Chain A
Amino acid sequence: MPDGVRLSPSARRASRSGEPRSLGRFAHLAYGVLGAVLVLGLWQAAAASGRFGSGLPSVLETLSALAGLLGTAAFWSELGATIGIAAIGLAVSSVIGVVFGVLAGRFPLVRSATLAVTEFLKPIPPIVVLPLAVMIWGPTQQMAIFLVIVGCALAIAIQTIAGVEDVDPVALSTARSYGIGTAESLWRIVLPSSLPFIGTAMRIAAPASLVVTVVAGLLGGSPGLGRSIYLAQSAGEVANMYALVVVLGVLGVAAQGISSAAERRLLHWHPSFRKTGS
């Protein structure tokens, strides 16, 4: 996932207010459907041309394979495994990322002591760690969860640090002048102040956790849809493979939607989400 995304809340506000007003709600939806239909049409045409042989099933074949999959218990258990791994990995990543980010952002000592290590780890993608993780845990759920944490925790931490650095000094002075202690100030001032940054990180990390889970299954053999895709491919069940990819796409959209909704709810007070006033 892209590291060091530092979208300032004000930059986001600008992009948000600039985007949906250009089209009406209905037109926005209609064009969206049109775009999707166009892509499906292209896919169908490409499959019908026969250029790709059996490597590209038609839209209809894929959809009927999908319908078949939905009727099997194995599919649902693999789907459950994927969601479980991604969710647990993401939850652990957020706890690690936010706790570490708040401490590193607030205490220069923690920051200095960990800077070399985090800078070193930043450019290492989780896939590089995969062979090591498979050696330790084998093709298991733990291995996949570990990879998700490797892929997400640091990025969440980096955004959290940016958020903590963005905390208003006047808010901190206010807390201190009222005798509010360090721990309470971290919990009640610093953490909520940093939430807009953490929210951005989570919105990016949620789909990323799915991607890593699938990679872990595809290349590392851990349970989940990634492994199903690998098995479908080696069995030559191309339509099933495509159907699984479609499911992943839907899952990604859902993850994005849920994290956006959670962000909107949690940050209803933030200028980019406020419904009233200026």
Chain B
Amino acid sequence: MSTLGTRTGTTSPRPGELLLKVDGLAKSYTSKGKRTDIIGNLTFSVNAGEVVCLVGPSGVGKTTLLKCLAGLHPSTGGEMSIDGRRIYSPPPEMALVFQDYSRSLMPWLTVEKNLRLPLRHLRLPQSEVRTRILDALAAVGLSHAAKQYPWELSGGMQQRVAIARALAYRPEILIMDEPFASVDAQTRFDLEDLVLKIRDDYGMTVLLVTHDIDEAVYLSDRIVAIGLRPAVVLEELTVDLPLPRNQLDTRALPRFAELRNHTLSLIQHASAKPTPSAMEDAVPGAAGAPA
């Protein structure tokens, strides 16, 4: 394994072992005395070395789920753990990649300094910091852009910088929130393949949220489809498409179409039918609830 592997000194799970566990997660907001349940009772897990996609219709609470998972928002029920340790605050084993690269990268810092930003408080030796930054930039193919500012780069390159920043942090799991929703189709394909390459080369575990079902099928070892309000797991399905995948052949497989159609019908079915409790809560004109 390359120097980009998972953090050293901890007993990280071996490939296939349980890494992230979400058990009965619930999240509700109370505003003006009225309770809104966003997430009902959500249970799933991610094993080390897996690429898992969470798919669901817009507004189902995928981003809320990720924020709970990342320790950014407190959950209102259930448990989450990583490496067997419960998550209360942002865990060091996790790195987040946001959809909005232009807002998550700091425009006053060069690419290199953006990568350095989350490493500062780890108090690593300078040589280690340099190695991590150079390795991470090489992994996303941006070694030449170290001294540039993010806004001098294209959207796809900026998202690569965000991914490199996450890699340099050496997490055990990369959590990505609709990471490719703001780039054009061709760039999107390139970035999807970059995710698969990172998994193959570095054994990185990836949990990716998307509303793009084709993307989920293409990337995943497993898909966790969520839906309804409050959100629950509709189905977990194993994506048994052969590895390595590529944009032309994988997407042309009959099995790809089957998995895609199955997932799509799951989600369409779920968005057409709110849960009984949600029906009672439903307010006319309140369609398209917040994500």
Kindly list chain A residues whose C-beta atoms are within 8 Å of the C-beta of B149: 269
B107 touches A184 (CB 8 A): no
Does A59 belong to the interface (CB within 8 Å)? no
Does A112 belong to the interface (CB within 8 Å)? no
Total contacts A to B, CB within 8 angstroms? 62
| With contact pairs A189-B106, A274-B151 given, residues A177 and B72 touching in the complex (Cβ less than 8 Å) | yes
B121 touches A170 (CB 8 A): no
How many Å lie between the Cα of A274 and that of B152 in the bound state? 9
Closest partner residue, chain A, to B120 (CB atom) = A184
Question: A140-184: contact bitstring with B at CB < 8 Å (1 yes, 0 no)?
Answer: 000000000000000000000000000010110111111111001
For residue B114, give the distance in angstroms from its CB to the closest CB of chain A: 10
Kindly list chain A residues whose C-beta atoms are within 8 Å of the C-beta of B98: 170, 173-174
Q: Which of B94, B107, B121 contacts A180 (CB 8 A)?
A: B121
Q: Which of B72, B94, B106 contacts A171 (CB 8 A)?
A: B106
Question: B64-97: contact bitstring with A at CB < 8 Å (1 yes, 0 no)?
Answer: 0001001110000000000000000010101110
Does B117 belong to the interface (CB within 8 Å)? yes
For residue A88, give the distance in angstroms from its CB to the closest CB of chain B: 28
B70 touches A177 (CB 8 A): yes
Interface residues of A in 241-278 (CB under 8 A from B): 269-271, 274, 276-278
B151 touches A179 (CB 8 A): no
Does A188 belong to the interface (CB within 8 Å)? yes
Does B104 belong to the interface (CB within 8 Å)? yes
Does B100 belong to the interface (CB within 8 Å)? yes
Which of A171, A175, A176, A178: most chain B Cβ within 10 A? Answer: A178
A174 touches B96 (CB 8 A): yes
For residue A106, give the distance in angstroms from its CB to the closest CB of chain B: 17
How many Å lie between the Cα of A170 and that of B103 in the bound state? 6
Closest partner residue, chain A, to B73 (CB atom) = A173
Does A84 belong to the interface (CB within 8 Å)? no
Does B180 belong to the interface (CB within 8 Å)? no
Kindly list chain B residues whose C-beta atoms are within 8 Å of the C-beta of A168: 103
Q: Which of B92, B104, B151 contacts A170 (CB 8 A)?
A: B104
Which of A170, A271, A276: most chain B Cβ within 10 A? Answer: A170
For residue A213, give the distance in angstroms from its CB to the closest CB of chain B: 32
Kindly list chain B residues whose C-beta atoms are within 8 Å of the C-beta of A179: 90, 92, 118, 121
Q: A175-B117, A276-B152 are in contact. List 20 more A-B contacts (CB 8 A).
A: A170-B98, A171-B103, A171-B106, A173-B67, A176-B90, A177-B70, A177-B90, A177-B96, A180-B118, A180-B120, A180-B121, A184-B120, A188-B117, A188-B120, A189-B106, A192-B108, A270-B108, A277-B151, A277-B152, A278-B151
20 CB-based A-B contacts, threshold 8 Å: A170-B98, A170-B100, A170-B103, A173-B72, A173-B96, A173-B104, A175-B117, A175-B118, A177-B96, A178-B96, A178-B118, A178-B169, A180-B118, A180-B120, A184-B120, A184-B121, A188-B120, A195-B108, A270-B107, A270-B108
The residues of A with any CB-CB pair to B shorter than 8 Å are 168, 170-171, 173-181, 184, 188-189, 192, 195, 269-271, 274, 276-278
**8 A-B pairs with the lowest CB-CB distances in the bound complex, closest first:** A178-B118, A170-B103, A177-B96, A174-B104, A269-B108, A192-B108, A177-B90, A168-B103
